[in-house]
Amino acid sequence: MMNVFDWFDGPYPARVRIAIAEKHLRSEVEFVSVDLWGGEHKSPAFLAKNYSGTLPVLELADGTLIAECTAITEYLDNLDGAPILTGTTAREKGLIHMMSKRAELEVLDAISVYFHHATAGLGPHVELYQNAEWGLRQRDKALRGMRYFDGILRQQPFVTGDYFSMADITLIGGLIFADLVKVAIPDDCDALSAWWVHMQQRPSVRNRLTMSERAAELA
């Protein structure tokens, strides 16, 4: 059994939950809640698991700890020797990692900076420094990033071509975060909007929360 330390509706944890579902590993994973809003991810106990103080973290049966969504997805995807999310050829691997990184930098991480700097974020007990101007600039960067991916998706059904991959999962994480902080996809991004509707219907995305977590989200 593997443990995944996360917070049920966190945008970054969503990336790993989607990967787990795509690889049909849900029965082999136990989710351990780390309270983001209470700042538990910055506590000494959690920092001993992940120096960066970020979620999610994968803990293997032998105690090995793997942080960072890309690294966790790479591990999970290759457990059975039949990767479906991170590529099988050198070309596929290169393209997927390139586009996943772009989705992080241009959308997901930019939205994260906006949240932590230009909104109340996780509250004063966690947000010890804020720069609202920087946060707003990053929100605008995310909007530019959405337009970039809209251009990509006007040419092909998925971020790296004809197949769903880790790059799509990363962009999904970005749009989950954008929804949470009320940053809408620009009206002129028809292809990105259509892709997002399609992605939300994908079982791994739609069912990333457990029944109890979904009830908590709606409460």
80-105 pLDDT, tens digit per residue, is 999 999 999 999 999 999 999 999 99
Higher pLDDT, 101 or 209: 101
- pLDDT for residue 209: 85
Residue 218, pLDDT > 90, answer no
Q: Give me the percent of the chain exceeding a pLDDT of 90.
A: 95
Domain with CATH 1.20.1050.10 in the chain: 90-202
Give the pLDDT band of residue 217 (cuts 50, 70, 90). Answer: low
One-letter amino acid at 128 equals L
For residues 209 and 75, give the distance between their C-alpha atoms in angstroms, rounded to a whole number.
21
pLDDT in tens, 141-198: 999 999 999 999 999 999 999 999 999 999 999 999 999 999 999 999 999 999 999 9
Between the CA of residue 177 and those of 76, 80, 165, what are the distances in Å? 23, 30, 19
E strand map for the chain:
2-6, 29-33, 57-59, 65-67
Looking at the chain, which residues constitute the CATH 3.40.30.10 domain(s)? 2-84+205-212
* CATH of the structural domain 90-202, one choice from 1.10.150.120, 3.20.20.150, 3.40.640.10, 1.20.1050.10: 1.20.1050.10
Of the candidates 46, 23, 27, 161, the residue with the CA atom closest to the CA atom of residue 92: 161
pTM over 0.85: yes
Architecture of the CATH domain 2-84+205-212: 3-Layer(aba) Sandwich (3.40)
